[in-house]
């Protein structure tokens, strides 16, 4: 009996029979070189990579070289060989990118990522223009030289991520060149000197549909943000010298992480704000050289005054998170008790994240101003100055003279108290006793305790 012939389609593996969009998603999880190497699997895969809707070019990955790698201990000959190898790879990388773009089919791009910060080559200008000409929707850029002006006038762009943009920033203030990104909804700017106070405003003026704005580790003289349609604003570890001004009538969420004790004028006009997270922490390392060596660490009083100043503009929120990540904890109790907060008439959910002993005063501070509060979450911070396995012994020592009484709002609206800790120590036990004592007359109050092991659990 002759065996029936098996068709090539039936003989094909299951993955190869998947539709093209799913295979593109699979290839998108690989490095671009690895995606190209799949062409040897079968005829089904031979030209599949040439239709990829997403391209990610990274000099470190695609050249298999990391210029930041520690080379201490190498001899002069080893160092010379390393530099020679690096130069050769700097030459090969542009050839590789050019070859990929040349063989790719003339299809529109969903995502284009280019990370070549260490590469001094004007070829990246042509690569970025290629993305613009193919109607790219999401663009990630970290080039060393200029970014072509067409980036700021691309009608197809919906998300733009700029990492360390340098020499092209001054052009945004030119009367002859204006930003025109009519469909941009998300903008992220990271690691830039935005000393021109008009830069951000000029950028936002050309993005009428912008909904999400993230500014990370940037230096400002004046940080001025005004946009009618903006819904989400995130400021992370920025150095603001003179003024912080935000006017966003439709803003729903505001997240600030950085040095709240900066001596700058603060104005926040966000009447529609529903939730906010304020994290007060040390300035980023890259900005420490701008401060005097003996005075860059702000005092507890200044940190709390900065947080109180911001809170006065957030009285409409229903959800509020307060994170305190400074290394200093002396005089915390007296500082908190001396500050006054406005009334939060709509506040229903509060998360307080501090070293555990400081929660006693901080909870009282926020509770007395929140008559409608229903849910309170207390997070035990891992001490910033210690490792993941370190302890909070300095916090425990500081806590011996701190009152463990928490004054809960007399309105008795509170329904849930959740405590998340990373180590069950003396401070957690002290907090447990205080909570049980001050809520013993509450009816239907639920107190939950849980241990978190990862940063994701901590944030959730």
Give the pLDDT confidence of 238-261 residue by residue, as tens digits. 888 888 899 999 999 999 988 776
The pLDDT value recorded for residue 400 is 43
Q: What is the DSSP string of 192-240?
A: -EE-STTHHHHHHHT-TT--EEEEES-EEEEEEEE-SS--EEEEES-EE
Question: Is 65 a member of any domain?
Answer: no
Question: Is 232 a member of any domain?
Answer: no
Question: Is 346 a member of any domain?
Answer: yes
The pLDDT value recorded for residue 211 is 97
pTM of the predicted model as reported, rounded to 2 decimal places? 0.82
Strands (DSSP E) found in 313-367: 319-324, 349-354
Q: Is the pLDDT of residue 388 over 70?
A: no
Q: What is the domain extent for residue 325?
A: 318-460
Helix locations, 386-446, DSSP H: 393-398, 426-438
Summarised one tens digit per residue, pLDDT across range 344-354 is: 999 999 998 87
Question: Is 439 a member of any domain?
Answer: yes
Local confidence band at 288 (pLDDT 50, 70, 90 cut-offs): very low
- Structurally, the chain folds into a number of domains equal to 2
Question: Is 236 a member of any domain?
Answer: no
Question: Is 309 a member of any domain?
Answer: no
Summarised one tens digit per residue, pLDDT across range 115-125 is: 876 555 577 88
Summarised one tens digit per residue, pLDDT across range 37-62 is: 888 888 888 888 999 999 998 876 66
Residues linked to residue 256 through DSSP beta bridges, in sequence order: 235, 278
CA angle centred on 269, ends 268 and 271, rounded to 5°: 130
Q: Measured between alpha carbons, how far is residue 296 from residues 114, 290, 310, 316, 323 in Å?
A: 36, 9, 21, 33, 20
Show the tokens assigned to 28: 């998108």
CA angle centred on 215, ends 210 and 221, rounded to 5°: 115
Question: Is 266 a member of any domain?
Answer: no
Show the tokens assigned to 249: 């009538």
The torsion region of residue 122 among left (phi > 0), alpha (psi -120 to 50) and beta comes to alpha
Local confidence band at 92 (pLDDT 50, 70, 90 cut-offs): confident
Is-contact 330 298, C-beta < 8 A? no
Coil/strand/helix, residue 314: coil
Helix locations, 67-147, DSSP H: 76-103, 123-133
Show the tokens assigned to 276: 């906010």
Question: Is 93 a member of any domain?
Answer: no
Summarised one tens digit per residue, pLDDT across range 148-200 is: 888 889 999 999 999 877 555 555 555 446 889 999 999 999 888 776 667 78
CA angle centred on 264, ends 260 and 267, rounded to 5°: 85
Q: What is the DSSP string of 10-47?
A: HHS-TGGGS-HHHHHHHHHTS-HHHHHHGGGS-HHHHT
């Amino acid at each position: 009996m002759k065996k029936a012939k098996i068709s090539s389609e039936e003989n094909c593996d299951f993955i190869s029979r998947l539709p093209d969009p799913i295979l593109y998603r699979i290839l998108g999880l690989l490095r671009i070189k690895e995606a190209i190497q799949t062409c040897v699997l079968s005829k089904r895969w031979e030209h599949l990579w040439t239709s990829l809707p997403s391209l990610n070019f990274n000099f470190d990955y695609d050249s298999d070289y990391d210029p930041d790698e520690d080379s201490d201990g190498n001899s002069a000959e080893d160092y010379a060989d390393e530099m020679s190898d690096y130069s050769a790879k700097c030459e090969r990388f542009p050839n590789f990118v050019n070859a990929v773009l040349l063989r790719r089919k003339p299809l529109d791009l969903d995502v284009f990522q280019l990370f070549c910060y260490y590469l001094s080559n004007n070829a990246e200008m042509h690569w970025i223009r290629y993305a613009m000409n193919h109607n790219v929707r999401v663009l990630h850029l970290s080039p060393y030289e200029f970014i072509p002006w067409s980036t700021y006038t691309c009608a197809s762009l919906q998300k733009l991520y700029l990492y360390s943009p340098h020499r092209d920033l001054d052009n945004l203030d030119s009367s002859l060149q204006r930003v025109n990104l009519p469909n941009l909804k998300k903008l992220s700017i990271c690691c830039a000197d935005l000393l021109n106070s008009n830069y951000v405003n000029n950028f936002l003026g050309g993005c009428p549909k912008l909904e999400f704005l993230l500014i990370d580790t940037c230096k400002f003289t004046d940080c001025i943000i005004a946009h009618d349609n903006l819904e989400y604003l995130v400021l992370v570890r920025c150095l603001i010298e003179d003024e912080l001004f935000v006017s966003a009538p439709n803003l729903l969420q505001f997240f600030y992480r950085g040095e709240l004790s900066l001596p700058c004028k603060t104005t926040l006009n966000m009447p529609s704000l529903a939730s906010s997270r304020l994290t007060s922490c040390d300035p980023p390392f890259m900005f420490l050289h701008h401060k005097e060596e003996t005075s860059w660490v702000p005092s507890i009083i200044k940190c709390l005054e900065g947080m109180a100043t911001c809170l006065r503009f957030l009285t409409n929120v229903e959800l509020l998170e307060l994170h305190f990540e400074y290394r200093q904890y002396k005089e915390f109790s007296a500082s908190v008790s001396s500050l006054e907060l406005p009334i939060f008439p709509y506040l229903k959910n509060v998360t307080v994240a501090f070293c555990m002993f400081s929660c006693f005063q901080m909870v009282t501070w926020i509770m007395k101003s929140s008559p409608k509060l229903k849910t309170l979450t207390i997070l035990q911070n891992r001490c910033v100055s210690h490792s993941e396995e370190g302890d909070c012994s300095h916090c425990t020592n500081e806590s011996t003279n701190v009152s463990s009484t928490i004054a809960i709002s007399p309105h008795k609206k509170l329904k849930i108290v959740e405590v998340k800790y990373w180590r069950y120590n003396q401070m957690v036990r002290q907090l447990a006793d205080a909570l049980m004592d001050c809520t013993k007359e509450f009816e239907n109050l639920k107190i939950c305790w849980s241990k978190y092991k990862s940063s994701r659990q901590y944030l959730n």
